[in-house]
Structure 1
Amino acid sequence: MKALQINTVCGTGSTGRIASDIHKMLIEQGHESVVAYGRGTAYNCDNTIKIGNNLDFYIHALKTRILDEHGFGSKNATRKFIERVKNYNPDIIHLHNVHGYYINIDLLFNFLKEYNKPIIWTLHSCWAFTGHCSHFDYANCYKWETHCQKCPQKTSFPKSIFIDNSYNNFEKKKKLFTGLDKLTLVTPSEWLAKLVKRSFLKDYTVKVINNGIDLSVFKPSPSNFRKRYNLENKFIILGVANKWEKRKGFEYFIELSKLIEPDETIVMVGLSKSALKQLPKNIIGITRTNNVQELAEIYTSADVFFNPTLEDNFPTTNLEALACGTPVITFNTGGSIETIDDTTGFIVEKGDLEQAIKTIRKIKTEGKEKYSESCIKRANKYYNKNNKFQEYIELYEERMNEFNVSNQI
C-alpha cells in the first residue's frame, strides 16, 4: 500500500513520534510511506513532504491572532501540497493534527472529498469539533454540543487577541469535516470517543487505539539520580510535562509543596527557565529533556508519579511512569483515568489536594514495591507502541479492503 500521514510535526513531540514510528513500521513491512508536516525539522523519517515555510507559518499565526481564523491560512502552501499528494497518489491518508498554523483545512478537506480514498483521522485533542479551543474541560464549556459562540478561551491556543470568530469557525468546521464517505476516526481514549459521539462528528465510525510508548527505553532503569540530587533518603513525588501550565497542574505542585514532610520532596521535569524561578526550596526543577533514557531513570527513581492535569486525552507520561514501575496518582480528568487500574495507581477528584496527599502517604506507608510489578505488567500488556502502531496498519488494510482499494506492495 501507499500511505500518507499528515501532522504538524514529524519525529518530535508525541504526535510527531507516532507518525514517524508508524512510517518506520510501514517501510519495514514492505509498504510505501510518506509523512507530510508543516513545522520544524523532520526527525527519524526518510521520506517526507514539508508543507509551506516559515513565512507561511507566521502569516497563518498572525491571521489567527487577529481574526481568529485558525486553519484558514496557508492557502498557497496547501495548494502546492495537494499537487504533490496527487503525484504521490496514496491509497490511504492518515491525518493527525491539522491545526498548528500550517495547512488550510478548507482546501484540504474539499480535496479529500474529491479524492475519495480511505481517510483515517486520529483526534489527539478536541479541536476538530469546537469553534476554537483544543480542550474545553478547564473552562467547563460545552457549547460545542450545540453551537460554539462567545468562546471563553479565545486567548488560549490557538490564541486570538482581538476577534472571537468561534461561531463561524464552528459552522465551517461542521461543513468541512462532515460528509466524507470513507472517513474513520481514531481516538486514544474512550473518553474522547464518547465526546465525539456527542459532537457533529457523531455519524462517523470511531475506533479507540491507545497511545503507546517505547518499552525498550521506558523500563526500570537504575541510576545515580538520587545520589546526584542528594535524595537518597527522600520519598520522591514526581511530575513530568512537556510544557507546564495551569491546565497541566503547575500550581497544584506549588500548593502540594506546602503540605509535604521533611523526608519528602517534589521533582518536576519539563520546566522553563522562568518557571524554575517560581519554585520553593522543596521542589527540584529540571528543564525539558529530550534524553529519554535520562527520563526513564528519573521515573524509576521516583516513589510516586503525580499527574494533577485538569484536561488531558491519554497522557503518555502516565504510561512511561508505569513502565518504569512507578504507581500513578491522577486527577479525575479526561482519559488520564483510563491509564491505570486499582493495582497500579489512584484517582483523586480534580483539585482535591487533601485527598491527593493522603493517597501519596498511603503509597509511602505501603511502599512503592507493592505496586511496581503490576505497573510494569500493565504497561507491557497494553501500551507497547509496536502493538499500537500495528493496530493502525491493520486498520489501514481493513478500510482499504472495505472500500476495494488495491493493496499492492
Structure 2
Amino acid sequence: MSRILFINSVCNGSTGTICKNLYKAAEEAGHTCCIAYGRGDAPEGFNTIKIGNQFDVYLHVLKARLFDASGFGSKKATKNLIKQIEEFKPDVIHLHNIHGYYINIEILFNYLKQHPEIKKIWTLHDCWSFTGHCAHYTYKKCNKWQLYCNGKCPNKKEYPQALFSNIKSNFNKKKEIFSNVENMILITPSKWLKNEVKKSYLKGYPIEAINNGVDTNVFKPTASNIKQQYGLKDKKVILGVSSVWNKMKGLDTFLELSKELDNQYQIVLIGLNKKQIKQLPKNIIGISRTENVQELVKWYSVAYVYFNPTLEDTYPTTNLEAIACGTPVITFNTGGSPESAYADKDKIVTNDINLIIKAIKRCSVNKISDVDSRKMINRYMEEYE
C-alpha cells in the first residue's frame, strides 16, 4: 500500500472536493493519505497540512499583483512544507492546483526532481502550468504559449491579476521548473485540455484524460416544492449556477436572454453576490451562493434546462451535476464544456440570442453514459498502485 500526499490550493470547491473524494477512496483501499492545502479551512476527519498562514497568502498576493509573480512567493511556507513532506515520506505525490498564492513552485519542484523514487501525478485543472501568466486564454484567443509568451499580455488584468506584466520571465522560469521531472504523469479532466497540453512545453510527459464525475447518490432527480416556494409553479426554469458570476461565466448573456424570453420561462441564477442580485432585472431570480447541496439538487431537478454560457472553462462540474439530476444542458462550444455536457450538436450554441432561444425550446434530455465520480476514482486508484 502507498503513502499518498495530495497538494491543492484549497480543501473545498470543485478541486478540493475531488481531493477529498480521492483521499477517502484511497484510504478505503488501504493507502495512507494526507492533504496539504494553502487556503481556507481543513475538513474534519482528514489528515491535513496547512501550508503557511493568511499573512503568507497576503504577501504572495502582493508580490503577484506588483510583479506578476504568481507561484514565486511563499518561500518560507514551502520550505516548511518540504520538512513536513519528508516526515510523511510519501510514495505518491498528487499535485492539483499549485497556483493560488500559497506555494513556491521553484522550491517544490526542486524537491520533486531530487526524488525520482516518488511517483508524481499532476492533475491540471486549467492552463496556468504552461502559460506565462493566465489560467485561461481562449476568450482572448491568445496562442503565444504554444511557442513563447512575450510582448503585451492580453490577460494581464485577469487572474492572477498584475499591475506589470512579466510573462517572458514567467514563461522561461516555468518551462525550466516544470521540465525534466522523472516519474511524473499528467492528468487532464477533458480531452480538450489534453490536446492543449500536447501543444505546450509539457508535451514530453505521459498525458491522460480522466473525466471528473459527481456523487450520484447526492446529485439525482429529487422531488421538491421549490418552484412553488418561489411562485414558479407553471414556469419553465432556465437555470444557471456558478461560484462566481462575471462576463466570462456568461452573466451578460443571461441579461440579454432575459430581454427576449416570453413569460413561460423564468431565469434563476445561483451564486450571485448581493450587489449583483440588487442590479438584476425583475424577470431574473438571483440567489446567493449556497453551501446547501440539497437546495442545489432541488433546483437542478426542477429546471427545464441548465444553460451554461461560459466563455472559458476546462470541464465544468455544474454540467455534470445538472445531467445527474436529469436536466438537459445547453452550452457554448468553449473549452471542455461540451464534453462535460455530453452535448450533441443541437445543444452546442453560439452567443446568438435567437439561436440560444431555439435550442432551449427544442431541448431534450441529454443522452449520456455515466457521470458518477466512482468511474473517475477507479481510474485514479489504478494510478496509485
TM-score (normalizing by structure 2): 0.97
1:125-204 map, 5 Å: 125-149=126-150, 150-161=152-163, 163-204=164-205
Is the aligned partner of 1:264 residue 2:252? no
- Equivalent residue number for residue 331 of structure 1: 332
- Equivalent residue number for residue 305 of structure 2: 304
RMSD of the alignment, in Å?
Answer: 1.3
Offset at residue 383 of structure 1 (A):
1.7
Deviations 1:66-96 (A, max 9, x none): 1111100000110011011111110010000
Q: Percent of pairs identical after alignment? A: 51
CA distance in structure 2 between the partners assigned to 1:95 and 1:170 by the alignment: 20
Determine helix, strand or coil for the equivalent of 2:279.
coil
- Equivalent residue number for residue 385 of structure 1: 373
1:6-405 map, 5 Å: 6-10=7-11, 12-116=12-116, 117-149=118-150, 150-161=152-163, 163-341=164-342, 346-349=347-350, 351-363=351-363, 370-371=364-365, 378=368, 381-397=369-385
Determine helix, strand or coil for the equivalent of 1:204.
coil
Offset at residue 171 of structure 1 (A):
0.3
Matching residue's letter, 2:208: K
Determine helix, strand or coil for the equivalent of 2:142.
coil
Determine helix, strand or coil for the equivalent of 1:284.
strand
> Given that residues 65 and 162 in structure 2 are in contact (C-alpha distance below 8 angstroms), is that contact kept between their aligned partners in structure 1?
yes
CA distance in structure 2 between the partners assigned to 1:94 and 1:345 by the alignment: 38
Offset at residue 345 of structure 1 (A):
6.6
Q: In structure 1, list runs of 5 or more residues that go unmatched.
A: 364-369, 398-409
Q: In structure 2, list runs of 5 or more residues that go unmatched.
A: none
Deviations 1:19-52 (A, max 9, x none): 1111111111111000000111012542001110
Matching residue's letter, 1:143: K
Change (3 A) 1:227 1:101: same
> Given that residues 250 and 308 in structure 2 are in contact (C-alpha distance below 8 angstroms), is that contact kept between their aligned partners in structure 1?
yes
Deviations 1:262-297 (A, max 9, x none): 111100011011111221111000110111111010
Matching residue's letter, 1:36: A
Deviations 1:201-244 (A, max 9, x none): 01111111111101111000111111001111111111111111
Determine helix, strand or coil for the equivalent of 2:39.
coil
- Equivalent residue number for residue 403 of structure 1: none
Change (3 A) 1:214 1:272: same
CA distance in structure 2 between the partners assigned to 1:224 and 1:44 by the alignment: 32
Offset at residue 340 of structure 1 (A):
3.5
Offset at residue 342 of structure 1 (A):
5.5
CA distance in structure 1 between the partners assigned to 2:199 and 2:28 by the alignment: 38
> Given that residues 209 and 388 in structure 1 are in contact (C-alpha distance below 8 angstroms), is that contact kept between their aligned partners in structure 2?
yes
CA distance in structure 1 between the partners assigned to 2:175 and 2:266 by the alignment: 48
Deviations 1:357-404 (A, max 9, x none): 1111123xxxxxx52xx55xx3xx43211221121111121xxxxxxx
CA distance in structure 2 between the partners assigned to 1:273 and 1:138 by the alignment: 27
CA distance in structure 1 between the partners assigned to 2:190 and 2:47 by the alignment: 29
CA distance in structure 2 between the partners assigned to 1:348 and 1:204 by the alignment: 34
> Given that residues 20 and 45 in structure 1 are in contact (C-alpha distance below 8 angstroms), is that contact kept between their aligned partners in structure 2?
no
Matching residue's letter, 2:159: F
CA distance in structure 2 between the partners assigned to 1:324 and 1:345 by the alignment: 20
* Count of residues in correspondence between the two structures: 382
Determine helix, strand or coil for the equivalent of 2:94.
strand
Runs ≥4 residues deviating over 6 A: none
CA distance in structure 2 between the partners assigned to 1:327 and 1:140 by the alignment: 29
Matching residue's letter, 2:146: E
> Given that residues 73 and 101 in structure 1 are in contact (C-alpha distance below 8 angstroms), is that contact kept between their aligned partners in structure 2?
yes
CA distance in structure 2 between the partners assigned to 1:193 and 1:148 by the alignment: 20
> Given that residues 329 and 343 in structure 2 are in contact (C-alpha distance below 8 angstroms), is that contact kept between their aligned partners in structure 1?
no
Determine helix, strand or coil for the equivalent of 2:78.
helix
CA distance in structure 2 between the partners assigned to 1:356 and 1:186 by the alignment: 33
CA distance in structure 1 between the partners assigned to 2:93 and 2:165 by the alignment: 32
TM-score (normalizing by structure 1): 0.91
> Given that residues 330 and 343 in structure 2 are in contact (C-alpha distance below 8 angstroms), is that contact kept between their aligned partners in structure 1?
no
